[in-house]
Amino acid sequence: MNMTTGRSSDPPSPSAPQAPEIPNGGSEISGLPTEITPETDLASLSQSQLYELNQNLLEDSVPTRALIEDIAPMSVLRAEYENGSQSFVKQIDSLVAKGFNSIRRARGDGDCFYRSVAFAYVDSILKAADVAIAAASAISLLESTFPMLEQAGFQKLVFEDFYDVLASLLQNIAQGTNDGKSLESKILLAFQSPEISNSIVVYLRLLTSARIRTDPDEYAPFLFHPEIGIQLEPREFCEAFVEAVGKEADHVQMTALARTLRLNLDVAYLDGRSSDGHVDFVEFRNSDSTPLTLLYRPGHYDILLKSGNGHT
C-alpha cells in the first residue's frame, strides 16, 4: 500500500487537520506519519496520522476524479442522494424543472470554483455566435489585466506563463477547426491536464487577488478569516486565501473574479436547507451575456448546464 502522506482531502473539509503554521513552532509536525507498517499499533498514532491513514485508504479505494469531467445527466447526481436527504433530492428536481438537466463535475481539490468558472468561461466562448470575435475579445480583456496585476505587486515573471497558457487556448479557439466537436474535446483534454488546467486556475486566482488588492475600498470590509472570523488586511487575505493553491473561494472572491472577467455568474445553492425544493441562486451581474451557472454544495462547486448546452 502506498503510504505517501500529505495529500489534501477530496472534497476539502473544514475539519481537516491543518499543516503546522510558523507560530506554533511545529508542535503538530511530529504527528505526521512517516513509516506506518501493518505492525504499527493504531493507538500509538496521533489524530492527524489516523486522519491521513484514513484518507490514504479512501484514495486507494476510490478512483480519483478527472480535474473536469465530461457532462453527466442530473439523474446521476440525484441517484447519489436518493437514499439520503430528501430535501437534496427535491432541490435537484426543482433544478431539473428549471431546465438544468446536466452537470459537469470538477475535482474537489479546493480549486473547483476557479476551475469550474474557467471551463464554463472558455466553453461559453466556444459556443458563442461568433467564436472568433468572442475569443479575440476575451484575449484583449485578459491582456488589459496586466496593469492591474502589476499594480497589485505581481512581477511579470510570476504571471506571464499562466497567462500564456490561457491565451494560447483561446487563440486555438479563435483559429478554430472545421470540426467544432474536436475543438470541444481538445478543450476538455486541456482542462484535464494538470499543467494546463492548474496554470489557468492560478491565473484566475491572481486576477482575483489583484482585484481585491487594488480596490481595497470595495473589498476590505469583507475580508475575514474563513475559520476564525477575524478581519484581515487585503494582503494577508489574498496571500493566504486567494493566491495559495487549493484554497476554496467564497463570496468575496467570486465577486472580484466575476467583475474582472465581466462575467454574469449564477451560483445555485444545493444545501438541503429548504424542504420544498426551493434553490437559492446567488447572482453576479457584470454584463448582458447569458450567465454561467455553477452548482454549489457545501464545500464544492461544479458546473450546471441547461439542455442544448451540451451533448448526450
Partner 1 sequence: MASISARRLAKELREIQLEGCPVGIALVTADDFATWRFSIEVMGESLYEGEQYLLQFRFDSQYPISSPAVQFVVGPERESPIHPHVYSNGHICASILGTEWSPVLSVVAVCVTLQSMLASCKKKERPVDNDRYVRTAPENPKKTRFHYDDDNV
* CA dist list (Å): 247 to 64, 189, 201, 300: 19, 24, 11, 11
For partner 1, the closer CB: 94 or 192: 192
| Cα torsion 68, 69, 75, 76: sign | negative
Q: How far is the CB of 306 from partner 1 (least distance, A)?
A: 31
Phi-psi region of 277 (alpha: psi -120 to 50; beta: other; left: phi over 0): left
Residue 280, strand partner residues: 269
For partner 1, the closer CB: 48 or 124: 48
Q: How far is the CB of 217 from partner 1 (least distance, A)?
A: 23
Length of the chain: 312
List of residues contacting partner 1 (CB under 8 A)? 4-8, 10, 16-22, 25-27, 29-30, 32, 34-35, 64, 109-110, 154-155, 157-158, 161-162, 165, 194-195, 198-199, 202, 206, 209, 239-240, 243-246
DSSP per residue over 69-115, as a string? EEEEEHHHHHHHHTTS-HHHHHHHHHHHHTTEEEEEEE-SSS-HHHH
Q: How far is the CB of 224 from partner 1 (least distance, A)?
A: 17
* CA dist list (Å): 220 to 203, 223, 235: 22, 5, 10
What is the separation of C-alpha 253 from the centre of its chain, rounded to a whole number of angstroms? Answer: 11
Q: How far is the CB of 210 from partner 1 (least distance, A)?
A: 10
For partner 1, the closer CB: 9 or 255: 9
Q: Which residues are catalytic, by number?
A: 109, 112, 278, 300
For partner 1, the closer CB: 35 or 179: 35
Which residue matches cell numbers 504499527? 40
Q: How far is the CB of 298 from partner 1 (least distance, A)?
A: 19
Q: d(Cα 23, Cα 235) in Å, to the nearest integer?
A: 18
3-class SS at 204?
helix
13, 7, 9: which is closest to 297 by C-alpha?
Answer: 13
For partner 1, the closer CB: 14 or 25: 25
Q: d(Cα 8, Cα 306) in Å, to the nearest integer?
A: 32
